[in-house]
Amino acid sequence: MEVLYKSTRSGQNTVTASQAILKGLAEDGGLFVPTAIPKLSVSVEELSKMSYQETAYAVMKEFLTDFTKEELMDCIEKAYDSKFDTEEIAPLVNADGTYFLELFHGKTIAFKDMALSILPHLLTTSARKNNVKNEIVILTATSGDTGKAAMAGFADVAGTRIVVFYPKGGVSPIQEKQMLTQKGENTHVIGIKGNFDQAQSGVKEIFGNKELEEEMARAGFQFSSANSINIGRLVPQVVYYVYSYAKLVENEQIQNGEKINVVVPTGNFGNILAAFYAKNMGIPIAKLICASNDNKVLFDFFQTGVYDRNREFILTTSPSMDILISSNLERLIYKLAGEDAEKNAQYMKDLSGEGKYEITSDMKAQLEDFYGNFATEAETAETIHKLYDQTGYIIDTHTAVAAAVYNKYKEETKDETKTIIASTASPFKFTRSVMNAIDQEKYSDMSDFELVDELSTIGKVDVPDAIEEIRDAQIRHNTVCEVGDMEKEVKKFLGIEQS
C-alpha cells in the first residue's frame, strides 16, 4: 500500500514521503501527516528476533513507501552504526519495577539522536529522488537537544547547510557547550534573546516567507527542517517503541499481546505522538502517559480540552521541555477533528492570534488513551534522589519528570500494567541538576566537569564520549541576536545580499 502525505491545514493535495521530508513544513503552514497510519506487516514474534536495524526497516518501509529497499537499508545502516555506544542501540533497564528505555546512547547523548542520525540520509536520498539541485538549508529551533543532534548528523554532509537557533540562557551549560563547539564548515549556531517558543515561531515565519523562498532559490538554496515537525523525524521515533515492546516479549517480561503503558516526558509532543503511531500500527499500548514539567500547558489541555499558551514561561531544570507551543500536537488535533483540515486550521489560527483554542467534547472523548500530569521542580529532584538511593540507578531531569508523573498515575489509578518510561537524555547532560538532586550540600562547590567525574564514580558508568570531547573543545560559534533579526542572520550565513 502506498502511503502519501497531506497537510493538516488543507488536506487536499498529497505528496510522497520523500517530498514531505524535503519540504519539512507544508506550504500552508500545516504539518504533513500520512493519509493513513499503516499497520505492521510482520508479527511481534518475528520482530522479537530482529536487531534494531531490522526493526527500523520493518517499521519505516510502511511509512516511506517511495523509498526502495536498498535506499532505506542504506540510510538505516549509515545511521545506526558504531556512533551508538551500545549494540542494542536502545537498551531497556529494569529499575524499581519499571522499564527505562535508554534513548541516549548516540553521538550527543539525547533521544534526538535516534531520529537525527538518520534524517540527513533520508533527506539527501529524498533530494536525489526528486532531482533537487539546490543546496538544502536545514533551519531548526532547539530547546537544547535537537540543535546538537541535528548538527552532528548534518556536519559536513555534502549539499546541506544547517542553522540552529536556541534560547540564550535557556539551556544547560553542557547543552550549550555541545552546540557552541560543533565542528563542520556547514554548521551555524545562533543564540536568540528570547525563549524556545519565540525561536520556534521565528523559524516557522522564515519558512512561510514566500519572498525569501524565491530569493533563496535564485541563490541556489532551499529550506528544510530538522525539527520534529518534519515527518522524517517522527517516523524513526516510532521504531523504538515497536522495538522495546518486542524486546520485552523476547525477554519473557511480557506475553505476546499483553498491553503495556508508555510514559514520555513531553515538550513538543513529537516523542509521545510517535508512541501513539506505534499503537495505531498494532503495538499493544494501553495508556500513553504524557509528563510535563512546570510548563504544564499539555496537562491543562488533557484536563480541560483547552490549549492555552497565555501563561508565564518557566525556566526549569528540564529545559528541553520548557515549551508552551507543542507543535506536534497539531497532528493529533487534526486526527481528533476527523481529519477536518478547515477545523484544525481554525484552531491553529486561534492559537496564533488569541493564544488558545478549545476542542469539542467529542474530540476530548477521543483522548481516553492519554493521561496527562506534571512534576514540580521539587518532585523532579526528589525522584532522582529516591531512585538513586533505592537502586543506584541515575536518571536525568527529563526522565525524572516522567518517573514522577508515572508514580502519580500509579497512585491515582492503582494500575499495575507493565510500563516503559522513555529515558530521553543521559544524566551527564544535566550533571549539576542531577548531582544537586542526589546531594546538594556535598556537590554545590564542584565545577561542571568535576561533577561529571563524580557522577561517573557514584553511578558506576563511564563518562560518555560526547562529554569527554567538549571538556577542552574550542568555542566556534559566538553569534547572538534579537528575535526580530533571525532572518537577517540566516541570510548573512548563506552570503545572500540584504535587500
Active-site residue list: 112
Strands (E), 306-394: 306-308, 356-358, 370-374
Please give the span between the terminal C-alpha atoms of the chain, in angstroms, as a whole number. 47
Q: What are phi and psi of 100, to 5 degrees?
A: -90, 120
Nearest to 233 by CA among 293, 262, 274: 274
CA 18 centroid distance within chain:
20
Q: Tell me which amino acid residue 270 is.
A: G
Nearest to 455 by CA among 420, 427, 422: 427
Q: Find out whether 39 and 282 touch, Cβ atoms under 8 Å.
A: yes
CA 496, 159, 467: angle at the middle one, nearest 5?
Answer: 100
Beta carbons within 10 angstroms of residue 177's beta carbon: 18
Strands (E), 66-208: 92-95, 98-102, 135-141, 160-167, 187-192
Q: Find out whether 265 and 401 touch, Cβ atoms under 8 Å.
A: yes
Q: Find out whether 119 and 125 touch, Cβ atoms under 8 Å.
A: no
**Spatial CB neighbours of 156, under 8 Å, sequence gap ≥ 6:** 184, 185, 186
Q: Tell me which amino acid residue 494 is.
A: L
Nearest to 107 by CA among 75, 50, 145: 145
From CA 267, how far away is CA 424, in angstroms rounded?
12
Q: The sheet that has 98-102: what strands, in order across it? A: 92-95, 98-102, 419-423, 260-265, 285-292, 370-374
From CA 387, how far away is CA 405, in angstroms rounded?
14
Cell of 33: 501527516
| b/e code 191-230 from CB counts within 10 Å (16+ = b) | bbebbbbbbbbbbbebbeeeebbebbeeeebbbbbbbbbb
Cell of 105: 546512547
For cell 535506499, name the residue.
71
**Spatial CB neighbours of 242, under 8 Å, sequence gap ≥ 6:** 40, 47, 55, 58, 59, 278, 281, 283
Q: Find out whether 3 and 62 touch, Cβ atoms under 8 Å.
A: yes
